[in-house]
Amino acid sequence: MSENKKIEKIVGVKGMNDILPADAPLWELFENTVHTVLKSYGFQQIRTPIVEPTGLFARGLGAVTDIVEKEMYSFTDSMNGDELTLRPEATAGVVRSAIEHNLTYEGPKRLWYQGPMFRHEKPQRGRYRQFHQIGAEALGFTGPDIDAELIMMCQRLWDDLGLDNIKLELNSIGDAAERNAHRADLIAYFEQHADLLDAEAQRRLHSNPLRILDTKNPTMQAMVNAAPKLLDYLGAESLAHFEGVQKILRHNAIPFTINPRLVRGMDYYNRTVFEWVTDALGSQGTVCAGGRYDTLVEMFGGKATPSCGFAMGIERLLELMKASGEKFAANQCDVYIVHQGEAAQMQAFVVSERLRDAGLDVVLHCASLAGPGSFKSQMKRADASGAGYAIIIGDDEIANDTAIVKSLRAEDMENNQAAVPFDTVAEYLVDQIVGGDDEHDHSEHVHYHH
């Protein structure tokens, strides 16, 4: 701006984060690892809209839940008056889509999704208003086998990511009838201890007493620990299902602990529920959570489709990866091209395209507010890019029909360079970069230095 007016900056929405280039390699590594694992179990991706009708969540998640009571970004579409909500989770949308498109018509389906979720929470470490999940939904499966498979898939992922401080907590919350029997005793128990209930618990006493078990209020812990346990109310079928899950996990040496207080936040769960927790992240220690939801599809008007799924919080898992002390960084490119003069610039364009044809990642120096830049300042950019090589083209190189290829990593930088004809510079560099390195997978050109 030429006039010196002070222009107010607009900043991003509180609790909604920018994911900056410095973190991109970590996200990429994480996502690639998850995708590989999901694929290895035959899961297929589904992408549903970020916005859904508000009624979908109100009906699916249950009216007396944290999310529906106070966390949803809901609004009226000013164009047509539709009531809409930014999705706080993806299971409801995936199930809606599966019904709408008859996805389980030919049999059960293993699905996965990924993307941003929105919840109006108090922002803090590990808790944001826009955050990201990857989740899996196995639709149309009845037995404990799929529950165990989902859990084992998570375990494989933690192993592949090198995360050894995530523990599995498991519970069964039975079916609706079993929960109702338990619920009556639970309300009676809480009424006996009414003096200990906080405001939220009192509000939930008759609407959703099970959720009181989930309280984080320290002064209620002892009382809640001694409350009637839902596990004691399970009938033969629910118990057999729960036993079945445990049997497969034990057979595959997946460690777990049974946490009778684990109930999960959404109403749609039944039978198996599980959480993967870590003590390395402070109070936001649940990195992945899921369970069985045998009646949700029917609640949305579909045919009976017993199902099971989970969702993991990407931000919390990335925190864990960072906490492991490893550094995740990626070079911007393999080769940075510096040049001076118009003829050199024209040649630099041609060379850069040839290098890309050969599969290399190339940054061609371009002018900025600082001007085209001296060789010296361009070389600084080349160093900062993390490239292994710079190509230098000036008047002399144009005259000689050669480029100077300079190694940016060698000890003796002064001498570690070669004059290479423009025609063969791509071959020369591919040879330098890929040639001596058997393990370098040239087709997937991502270099993480851990």
The residues binding ligand ATP (CB under 6 A) are 89, 119, 121, 126-128, 131, 133, 265, 284, 286-289, 311, 313, 315-316
How many CA atoms lie less than 13 Å away from 133 in the CB half-sphere? 28
Nearer to ligand ATP, 91 or 238 (CB): 91
Nearer to ligand ATP, 263 or 363 (CB): 263
d(CA 72, CA 393): 57
Nearest to 448 by CA among 51, 30, 63: 30
Nearer to ligand ATP, 131 or 293 (CB): 131
Is the torsion defined by CA of 51, 52, 55, 56 positive or negative?
Answer: negative
DSSP 340: -
Task: Tell me the closest approach of the beta carbon of residue 58 to ligand ATP, in angstroms.
Answer: 16
Q: Look up tokens 């809209």; give the residue.
A: 49
Task: Tell me the closest approach of the beta carbon of residue 316 to ligand ATP, in angstroms.
Answer: 5
Task: Tell me the closest approach of the beta carbon of residue 76 to ligand ATP, in angstroms.
Answer: 24
Burial of residue 312, with CB atoms counted within 10 A of its CB: 0-12 exposed, 13-18 middle, 19 or more buried = buried
Task: Tell me the closest approach of the beta carbon of residue 72 to ligand ATP, in angstroms.
Answer: 12
Q: How far is CA 87 from CA 310, 371, 389, in A?
A: 16, 46, 45
d(CA 26, CA 20): 11
Strands (E), 293-445: 307-313, 329-330, 335-339, 362-364, 389-393, 402-407, 417-421
Burial 356-392 (b: 16+ CB within 10 A, else e): eebebbbbbbeeeeeeebeeeebbebbeebbbbbbbb
Task: Tell me the closest approach of the beta carbon of residue 140 to ligand ATP, in angstroms.
Answer: 22
Nearer to ligand ATP, 138 or 348 (CB): 138
Task: Tell me the closest approach of the beta carbon of residue 332 to ligand ATP, in angstroms.
Answer: 29
Task: Tell me the closest approach of the beta carbon of residue 36 to ligand ATP, in angstroms.
Answer: 21
Nearer to ligand ATP, 128 or 336 (CB): 128
Residue 225: helix, strand or coil by DSSP? helix
Nearer to ligand ATP, 275 or 361 (CB): 275
Nearer to ligand ATP, 273 or 363 (CB): 273
d(CA 398, CA 370): 25
Burial of residue 136, with CB atoms counted within 10 A of its CB: 0-12 exposed, 13-18 middle, 19 or more buried = buried
Nearer to ligand ATP, 89 or 178 (CB): 89
Task: Tell me the closest approach of the beta carbon of residue 169 to ligand ATP, in angstroms.
Answer: 12
Q: Which residue is nearest to ligand ATP (CB)?
A: 313
